[in-house]
Amino acid sequence: MALRNLFKFRELPESETSKPFLEHLEDLRWAIVKMAITLLIAMVICFAFRSLLVQVMQRPLHEIDPKIGALRAMGVTDSLTISFRLAFYAGIVLSFPLLLYFLAEFVLPALTAMEKRFVLPAIFVSFALFLTGVLTCYYWLLPKTILFFFHDTESLGWTAAWTVQEYYSFVTRFTIGFGLAFELPVVVLALVRFGLVTYPFMARTRPYAMVLIFILATIITPTPDILTLIAMSLPMCLLYESCIWIAWFMQRKAPKALND
């Protein structure tokens, strides 16, 4: 029953030839298969360049202190497990536009002819936002975070001797998570399109959302200085504010589209 309600959003308004439930499941299955194959191919390509990936991921370490750039491999299979993990996350970044395209392809039946024209530009914007988040984290926030933990370790009289498992798990999840956070406007646009979020609701809850953003930034940001906290939370606040205006614009255009 839940799946039947979920697939209702794919039906065209007042359609006389609505698809049966099993055909929706078949479409979903093929969308998942295509996304999985795309990600697998991207992973294979990234795995072939694993040495380069390792150098790129360890660059922030070498810039802080060359001594901690040599990570410790504590497990026998660390070289392969870490390589597969790096290939997976790098594969997500590499194949992100195609993954979005296959997802949009599944949603397309619910879109009007005019909305379908914006699919490719929307995919480009989504990928640009995702890449912006990843690069912002990698070049700016990640070095600050690693530097903080390095100095904090030294302040306790300990030597920073991090393992490959711990380091790469932290770095990959941190950068990918920051990239996904930049997808907020696209997610809100989809929620508004399907009537799950409205402009009045977002405008009314703006103060609470801003407080939650600052609390989240405080938790994520390990450095105690106020400048880093503001630099972390300000982009998220601007993204949320842009989402409010996206919702306003979409709801304003909706009555005009119905009249046309």
CA dihedral 162, 229, 241, 142 (to 10 degrees): -20
Query: Would you kindly state where each structural domain of the chain is located, as residue ranges?
Result: 20-182, 184-252
For residue 109, the model assigns a pLDDT of: 65
DSSP-based three-state secondary structure for 109: helix
For residue 21, the model assigns a pLDDT of: 56
- Per-residue pLDDT, averaged over 208-225, amounts to 73
For residue 35, the model assigns a pLDDT of: 93
- Per-residue pLDDT, averaged over 229-256, amounts to 77
Examine the pLDDT at 2 and tell me if it is beyond 50: no
The more confidently predicted of residues 51 and 235 is 51
Enter the tokens of residue 105: 């392809």
DSSP-based three-state secondary structure for 72: strand
Contact of 247 with 202, CB cutoff 8 Å: yes
The more confidently predicted of residues 90 and 162 is 90
Q: What is the mean pLDDT of the chain?
A: 79
For residue 70, the model assigns a pLDDT of: 72
The residue with tokens 């901690």 is: 68
Q: At 29, is the pLDDT very low, low, confident or very high (cuts 50, 70, 90)?
A: confident
- Per-residue pLDDT, averaged over 39-62, amounts to 91
Burial environment of residue 71 by CB neighbours within 10 A (0 to 12, 13 to 18, 19 or more): buried
- The Cα–Cα gap between 157 and 198 comes to 53
- Per-residue pLDDT, averaged over 85-112, amounts to 83
- What are 72's strand-pairing partners? 163
pTM here is: 0.74
Q: At 14, is the pLDDT very low, low, confident or very high (cuts 50, 70, 90)?
A: very low
For residue 102, the model assigns a pLDDT of: 87
